[in-house]
Structure 1
Amino acid sequence: MSNLPSKEEMFRALVERQGLENVQKLQAATVAVCGLGGLGSNVAIALARAGVGKLILVDCDTVDVTNLHRQQYKACQVGMPKTDALSQNLKEIAPYIQIETHFVRMTEESTLALVDRADVVCEAFDKAEAKAMLVNTVLEKNPGQVLVAASGMAGFDSANTILTRKVMKNFYLCGDGTSDVNQGIGLIAPRVMACAAHEALTIIRILCGMENKIAKKECENGK
């Protein structure tokens, strides 16, 4: 622990790479990551490295040996709740981050209470039913909240087919939009991580105000 950088040292290092204004915005932000599997665990790691101040982690699952090939867990964490295991790993990377965990299954009734305090909600579930529930609940009941979701990252196709689309004002969708693991197509780490990177980068751009600037510029140019 004697080699642990101070909070100030880590802040200066982030500022050097990302700029003071961006770091200040990220550190003031809260992001809810719903689902901590291949997508969510990688999104959370990326956001923590970028300096996001607080993460709300929601999942009801435990780490399984079959998760290890694409999710940000260690073999010694098999059997642990994913909320606990990921919190442990995040603290090793970003020791001063604030983490709030909920080891529960999200339902339509509980969703808003879990994510209402977040600036951005990240949908990162594996199952289509859970994805639809979260997206529909947030868009219908809390339309002012920004939501970043994913659809399609299975198989061995090129990562270049994974894209980010702005579906509506506060809703972004990342993925290829077609591949489905239920069709017998497997999940491999690089492609899942590519989709997670799209989600994480989109969230960072939103928090830093970059998406709004682009929309304003396009409007000014008559697009």
Structure 2
Amino acid sequence: MIPTKEEWYRALADRHGEAFQKRAEHTTVAICGLGGLGSNISICLARAGVGKLILIDFDRVDISNLHRQQYKASQLGLPKTEALAANLKEIAPYIELELHTIRITEDNIGELLTDADLICEAFDNPECKAMLVNAVLEKFPEKYLLSGSGMAGMDSVNRIQTRRVTKRFYLCGDGVSDVKECGTLVSSRVMTCAAHEAHMVIRILAGEPEP
């Protein structure tokens, strides 16, 4: 039985506090890339009661995604935006979702991200990461930006950290490991990095950013 919207909100407010929940409910977060990082970030934020997520990815669910991304075998072949939206609605039935099944480029980034309060970079391609980060810092200096760098391999998850790069830009990861060098991406380490990004969003909403 699905709870009413009022019951859903009250359960979250009782757990997180009224002030935080009101702020989260009126916050929009853009998730750029819905792979291992982005799909896990999205689920964390949905569970935290963030009111709206902008989901952006051009790709489809592939069997190679299932070991670390938040999709099901029954969703193979579906656009990641649509598959993740369905999963999020099962978790948080009253969340608002805006889907863009499209590749982010320098030409459309302004239009796609203008309504977001915070932006999570979750690409697996270094060139795309750099493009997004540079574009956001240039076009939207007033917005918070969370980015991931270094989550590959079997090294300890304790090496994954969050650090503040500028006033509104945070970088999560170990800053070193690269899948091309390590040869592996495992769910536990990718999820740890995703949790760092999601938790930093939550800390910002709670008014407790890193020094």
Question: Once structures 1 and 2 are overlaid, which stretch shifts more, 29-38 or 110-119?
Answer: 110-119
CA contact (8 A) 2:152 2:182 kept: no
Counterpart in the other structure of 2:15: 17
Counterpart in the other structure of 2:30: 32
Cα distance, 1:185 vs structure 2: 2.5
CA contact (8 A) 1:179 1:185 kept: no
The CA distance in 2 between the partners of 1:46 and 1:200, in whole Å, is 6
Percent pairwise identity: 60
Hey, which bits of structure 1, 4+ residues long, moved more than 2 A?
none
Structure showing greater Rg: 1
Cα distance, 1:116 vs structure 2: 1.1
Aligned residues: 211
The CA distance in 2 between the partners of 1:161 and 1:124, in whole Å, is 19
State which of 91, 101, 105 in structure 1 corresponds to 2:103: 105
Q: Give unmatched runs, 5+ long, in structure 2.
A: none
The CA distance in 2 between the partners of 1:28 and 1:140, in whole Å, is 25
Aligned pairs (5 A) from 1:68-87: 68-87=66-85
Q: Give unmatched runs, 5+ long, in structure 1.
A: 216-223
The CA distance in 1 between the partners of 2:157 and 2:196, in whole Å, is 11
Counterpart in the other structure of 1:152: 150
Cα 1:175–1:191, aligned 2, differ >3 Å: closer, same or farther? same
Counterpart in the other structure of 1:189: 187
Q: TM-score under structure 1 normalisation?
A: 0.93
Q: TM-score under structure 2 normalisation?
A: 0.98
C-alpha RMSD of matched pairs (Å): 0.8
Cα distance, 1:141 vs structure 2: 1.9
- The secondary structure found in structure 1 opposite 2:43 is helix
The CA distance in 2 between the partners of 1:134 and 1:112, in whole Å, is 10
The CA distance in 2 between the partners of 1:132 and 1:113, in whole Å, is 18
